[in-house]
Chain A
């Protein structure tokens, strides 16, 4: 079917941690959704024009439902957090490339998520477990004891938690959790804040481990036309012919070796 904009419906929504919302959406886009992809949701308030790109947390293909877990950070997400079951919404999807699952075959994997970068890790963990033939270690970092998605994640791999205040699991971030637990991997999949992704890129290079990281940037179109959301690449990007790849279309998941962050 390809990318499309469609009218979808909120199936249910709950607040699962301070400022963190868990929304299930009834949409046919669920059938094509891949872990690491995202959808764009259009606010109804026309003073906030641009769609909000939000990563897919879970795809229930059988019931045609997508789950997103997001943090309220501005007017758009604040509007979304007020939506109740049955609410009609305009969405665009599915967008982006997604995580390369095949890279996990026969490997020991780290699935790393930091803060609001944790949600896409869930669908990835679920699909890797279903694929089999790989060992999944999930390492997630939170600010404090207000955890979310941890119970979902633990069904699909060995779960390690880090909190900045040390209230749960390792004190510090996901890198501290790896060290404290003496973990090693052949391949890393990660989504989270830029300092975390930089640390992972560095770690991966030092330990000669493959790493696939999901980036984010301010976007307008979400489909590769406006060139708003670029990241610097080590090689000339085949589309732009300069060292810039489009996060919305060429990403959001990149081989860490190929981006300069």
Chain B
């Protein structure tokens, strides 16, 4: 199919804030580590980008277990952004990612504006193509989501980060808001270069036999195919409200799902929970997108973006 792509002159490249990706398929933060584990299954060189697990200024231990619960057609997680802190991340994870011909987007988390800025500044001279700012994790009590659920708070933190960041800034939006367009507009107005959406939807599961919460954290973030229609709707709404590009995600399981997001207005897509169900999902999605382009005689993938009638 690789030859086919060349013969037919398929262009799968997309560009976000001046960064060009060989194809629009990325990995959703937190589902793919920094690629080391999935590198045993897939060729990381073939990915549009690796979006890393959230990184903070210092190591975070995360939440108690159980951190995972299955739900109908999806799952809940309450990992609590466990991460080794930025120094280990730079030394180990970024070093690892340098070996591959793919773009690197680092997801940044924090408990205060200062925390975020510390990471953003520390990463400024590192081999990082873009920053994705996680202001939407529903599983961390302090900070984090507080920035993602109020338009003025989102505006302020975006502005602060935009001032300090050397790389383009993607703000990752929470779906747990009344009006997603208000949040998208606030981020855009503050200078965000792109948006990614949606983070997980806050959910809960109760074990009726134990009469107890399935997660130690009681609530968790819902992901997987069950949330896809919500994500498609929000991407569509946001794409019609702002001019900056959007990376769409939420339950993408295959090329059909990915194309749905592109048509809704996303410039790129991320595969999240479905990596757990099939570690080859990213590769199959990339292939499936090319097959779709051939089937419908589409030479340039960019013509699909927002092309829903």
Contact with B along A217-261 (1 / 0, CB 8 A): 111111111111111000000011111100001000000000000
Q: CB-CB < 8 A to A24: which residues of B? A: none
Are the C-beta atoms of A228 and B84 separated by less than 8 Å? no
Q: Which of B32-71 contact A (CB under 8 A)?
A: 32-33, 37-38, 40-41, 53, 59-62, 65-70
Chief secondary structure at chain A's binding surface: loop
Once the chains bind, are A48 and B70 in contact (CB under 8 Å)?
yes
* Contact in complex: B37, A242 (CB < 8 Å): no
Q: Shortest beta-carbon distance, A220 to chain B, in Å?
A: 4
Q: In the assembled complex, how far is the CB of residue B18 from the closest CB belonging to chain A, in whole angstroms? A: 29
A50 at the interface (CB under 8 A from B): yes
Q: Mark B276-292, 1 if CB is under 8 A from A, else 0.
A: 11111000000000000
* Complex alpha-carbon distance, A226 and B88, angstroms: 18
* Cα-based distance from A219 to B79 in the complex (angstroms): 11
Q: Are A218 and B84 in contact (CB under 8 A)?
A: no
Task: Point out the residues of chain B lying under 8 angstroms from A242, CB to CB.
Answer: 59-62, 82, 84
Q: Are A3 and B68 CB-contacts (below 8 A) given A49-B73, A49-B74, A223-B279? A: no
Interface residues of B in 138-177 (CB under 8 A from A): none
Interface check B259, CB cutoff 8 A: no
Q: A49-B70, A218-B66, A241-B84 are in contact. Are A226 and B279 (CB under 8 A)?
A: no
Q: Which residues from A are CB-within-8-Å of B102? A: none
**CB-defined contacts of B278 to chain A, threshold 8 Å:** 5, 42
Query: Is A223 touching B277 in the complex (CB atoms < 8 A)?
Result: no
Task: Determine the chain A residues whose CB is within 8 A of the CB of B75 once the complex forms.
Answer: 49-50, 220
Given the interface pairs A49-B75, A218-B65, the reply to whether A224 lies near B85 with Cβ below 8 Å is no
Question: Which of A48, A220, A249 is in CB contact (< 8 Å) with B77?
Answer: A220
Contact with A along B250-283 (1 / 0, CB 8 A): 0000000000000000000000010111111000
Interface band, chain B: 35 or more
- Given A47-B72, A47-B73, A92-B279, does the pair A231, B59 have CB atoms closer than 8 Å? no
Q: Give the Cβ gap from A49 to chain B, nearest Cβ, in Å.
A: 5
Given A227-B79, A240-B84, are A51 and B276 neighbors across the interface (CB < 8 Å)?
yes
- One digit per residue, 1 when the CB lies within 8 angstroms of any chain B CB and 0 when it does not, for chain A 109-147 equals 000000000000000000000000000000000000000
The answer to whether B68 touches A229, judged by C-beta atoms less than 8 angstroms apart, is yes
A230-B65 CB under 8 A given contacts A5-B279, A47-B73, A242-B82: yes
Residue A84 lies at the interface, judged by CB distance under 8 Å to chain B: no
Q: What residues of chain B lie closer than 8 Å to A47, measured between beta carbons? A: 72-73
A4 beta carbon closer than 8 Å to chain B: yes
Q: How far is the CA of A4 from the CA of B85 in the complex (A)?
A: 30
B40 touches A3 (CB 8 A): yes
Q: B195 to nearest A CB, angstroms?
A: 24
| Interface range for A | 20 to 34
Question: For A151, what are the chain B residues with a Cβ–Cβ distance below 8 Å?
Answer: none
What separation, in Å, do the CA atoms of A228 and B82 have in the docked complex?
A: 10
Which A residues lie within 8 Å of B33 (CB)? 224-226
Most chain A beta carbons < 10 A, residue from B30, B60, B82, B225: B82
B65 touches A49 (CB 8 A): no
Could you tell me which residues of chain A, from 1 to 43, have a CB within 8 Å of some CB in chain B? Answer: 2-5, 42
Interface contact B273-A49, CB-CB below 8 Å:
yes
B309 CB to nearest A CB, Å = 29
Cβ of B224 under 8 Å from chain A: yes
Is B40 within 8 A of A223, CB to CB?
yes
Q: How far is the CB of B17 from chain A (nearest CB, A)?
A: 27
A221 touches B37 (CB 8 A): yes
User: In the complex the two chains form, is A49's CB within 8 Å of B277's CB?
Assistant: yes
Interface centre among B31, B83, B277, B280 (most CB of A within 10 A): B277
**Given the complex, which residues of B lie within 8 Å of A50, measured CB to CB?**
68, 70, 75, 276-277
B68 engages A226 (CB within 8 Å): yes
- Cross-chain contact of A223 among B37, B65, B82, B83 (Cβ < 8 A): B37
Given contacts A46-B73, A50-B70, A50-B277, contact A217 B41 (CB under 8 A): no
Whole-angstrom distance from the CB of B116 to the nearest CB of chain A?
A: 20
Which B residues lie within 8 Å of A217 (CB)? 65-66
Smallest beta-carbon distance A92→chain B, Å = 7
Q: List chain A residues, Cβ under 8 A from B53.
A: 227
Residues of the A chain whose Cβ atoms lie less than 8 Å from the Cβ of B32 = 225
Nearest-neighbour CB distance to chain A for B117, whole angstroms, equals: 22
Which of B37, B53, B225 gathers most chain A CB within 10 Å?
B37
Q: CB within 8 Å of B: which residues of A?
A: 2-5, 42, 46-51, 92, 217-231, 239-244, 249
Chain B residues near A (Cβ < 8 Å): 30-33, 37-38, 40-41, 53, 59-62, 65-70, 72-75, 77, 79, 82-85, 88, 224-225, 273, 275-280
Known contacts A5-B279, A48-B70, A217-B65; 6 additional CB pairs below 8 A are: A47-B73, A50-B70, A217-B66, A218-B68, A218-B69, A222-B276
**What are 13 A-B pairs with beta-carbon distances under 8 A?**
A49-B73, A49-B277, A51-B277, A221-B275, A223-B37, A225-B275, A229-B65, A230-B62, A230-B67, A241-B88, A242-B61, A242-B84, A244-B62
